[in-house]
Amino acid sequence: MTVRTRFAPSPTGVLHLGSVRTALFCWLYARHNGGEYILRIEDTDRERSTPENVDAILDGMAWLEMEADEGPFFQTQRFDRYQEVIDQWLAEGKAYHCYCTKEELAELRAGQMERGEKTRYDGRCRDRTDVREGVEPVVRFKNPLDGEVVIEDMVRGTVVFQNTELDDLIIARSDGTPTYNFTVIIDDCDMRITHVIRGDDHLNNTPKQMNMLAALGAGVPAYAHLPMILGPDGAKLSKRHGAVDIRDYREQGYLPEAMLNYLVRLGWSHGDQEIFSVEEMVEYFDIADVNQSASSFNPEKLLWINQQHIIAAPAEKLGEALRPYLKKMGLDPMQGPSLADVANVYRERAETLVEMAEGARYCFEDFSEIDAKAAKKNLRPVVLEPLQAVRDAFKALNSWDVAAIDEAIHSVAAAYEINLGKLGQPLRVAVTGGAVSPPIDSTVWLVGKERTIQRLDHALELVKIRAAIS
């Protein structure tokens, strides 16, 4: 049997971290088992589904590199198929038209509440043969009246529902559109889904879906209901806990593999390992290791994991990941050092790609002004000569590498008998325009020979002006 999982988001809102975690578990389970992962957009709620939300899902999945083996399928393109089953079930007596009006249903509900009963549809239209003129009926599924539904959930264990607790659910609204629980089972059946992995907010839907799958004559997939993700305060993770839209994390400079690493640990563990490459996740992932209890979202841990992935990423890949952030800041990534070099120099110094891009701005953009405070403190007349000497030493270098740059700085400092910091900091201010950067040799190397000389000339002009004034 080929494992086939599906991620079935409804495009009624942003792509939420919780949904991404569900998608990830589906994807990993399929990959781990050499199976197939299917993407299905559940867009039957036409009022709340938007093309923007569909794009956000597709875009998010592409960014996270969770490629689907099949899909995206769209439920709105499958209405004929749903209608076919509805007609068939009506003909076979597995479903029926219900003409109850809102008022009748409200009255039924009120009576049940008064008697302290569970509110549910009582099946009064089940055996009705007449057609009520002027009322567009809904279609209800004839749920079994007795017996029980047993779910052998891969995460939750055995969960039993009594059929007496379930009612005859609506499978088509009065306007003819099919409803969620119904479309899901048709699709899960047609798409030959073997494992339904989803949030445990769907656990209550499962017995209804299992009964309908039986009516369809289809087998039942394995189910795995994932525990909730909570915010730091113990409530279900939502907007009020901060960003929950996966796009926000991309914007803030998180690496896709770090997001996956963080999300996989929300509910799953492999010994006490914290950092996983995507390959390791695929290799180790198993539903048997999914916890039953809810896990909490911890933004500091996510940041830490991001940094670990930044440190470990191959330079070329990290450099490429940096490119869009530089562009977004209005910088031209072509007007500067290779992005792999920037990545290598900055990987230990940035927790996010945004931080990296901001830190390395001076490598891509000539600044017209030096930070006033840094200039005042560091570009003083005493550094005129050593700075001039280091400029000349750089100019004379045949090979622009960190070791040669380092040596030039050392020899100038030695010649002027000043300690390295006394030369390094003015140099830093001159070539970066500010007081903070990676080690000075690497900084100068990144800035490049031509720019370094130009910037030193500019700084020397400033120092000369100051020397003339004082």
Nearest alpha carbon to residue 322 among 366, 281, 363, 277? 363
Q: How many H helices and E strands in the chain?
A: 20, 12
Which of 142, 236, 239, 373 is labelled catalytic?
239
Cβ-based neighbours of 304, under 8 Å, separated by 6 or more: 351
Is 441 an interacting residue with respect to ligand GLU (CB under 6 A)?
no
Phi-psi region of 308 (alpha: psi -120 to 50; beta: other; left: phi over 0): alpha
Least distance (Å) between residue 184 CB and ligand GLU: 5
- Stretch touching ligand GLU by CB under 6 A, among 2-10, 143-151, 154-162, 298-306: 2-10
Q: Are 159 and 203 in contact (CB under 8 A)?
A: yes
Binding ligand GLU (rule: CB under 6 A), the pick from 21, 156, 202, 241 is 202
Q: Is 239 a catalytic residue?
A: yes
What one-character DSSP code corresponds to residue 117? P
Number of residues that bind ligand GLU (CB under 6 A): 7
Q: What's the CA gap between 242 and 172, in Å, rounded?
A: 37
Measured distance CA(81)–CA(208) in Å, rounded: 20
Q: Which amino acid is at 58?
A: L
∠ CA 128-129-131, nearest 5°, is 100
> How far is residue 205's CA from residue 171's CA, in Å, rounded to a whole number?
13
Task: For ligand GLU, give the closer residue by CB, 42 or 341.
Answer: 42
Contact with ligand GLU (CB under 6 A) among 36, 42, 200, 341? 42
Tracing tokens 């940096």 back to the chain, one arrives at 322
Tell me how far, at minimum, the Cβ of 238 lies from ligand GLU, in Å: 15
Rounded Cα gap, residues 268 and 141, in angstroms: 37
- Report if residue 10 touches ligand GLU, rule: CB under 6 A: yes
Pairing label, strands 70-74, 36-41: parallel
Applying CB under 6 A, among 9, 253, 256, 336 the residue interacting with ligand GLU is 9
Burial of 188 (0-12, 13-18, 19+ CB in 10 A): buried
What mask, x for binding ligand GLU by CB under 6 A, covers residues 167 to 196? -----------------x------------
Asked if 451 touches ligand GLU (CB under 6 A), the answer is no
Stretch that binds ligand GLU, among 4-12, 145-153, 294-302, 337-345 (CB under 6 A): 4-12
Full DSSP string of 252-273: TT--HHHHHHHHHTTTB-STT-
> Looking at 4, 16, 198, 241, which residue binds ligand GLU (CB under 6 A)?
198
Residue 139 — φ and ψ, nearest 5°?
-110, 130
Return the number of the residue (211 or 307) whose C-beta is nearest ligand GLU.
211
**Which range of residues in 8-16, 256-264, 314-322, 378-386 is near ligand GLU by CB under 6 A?**
8-16
Coil vs helix vs strand at 429? helix
Angle at 412 between CA 359 and CA 370, to 5 degrees: 35
Indicate if the alpha-carbon torsion angle 112, 117, 119, 124 is positive or negative. negative
Stretch in the footprint of ligand GLU (CB under 6 A) among 5-13, 58-66, 433-441, 454-462: 5-13
Q: What is the CA radius of gyration of the chain?
A: 32
Q: Which residues are catalytic?
A: 239
Binding site residues, ligand GLU, CB under 6 A: 8-10, 42, 184, 198, 202
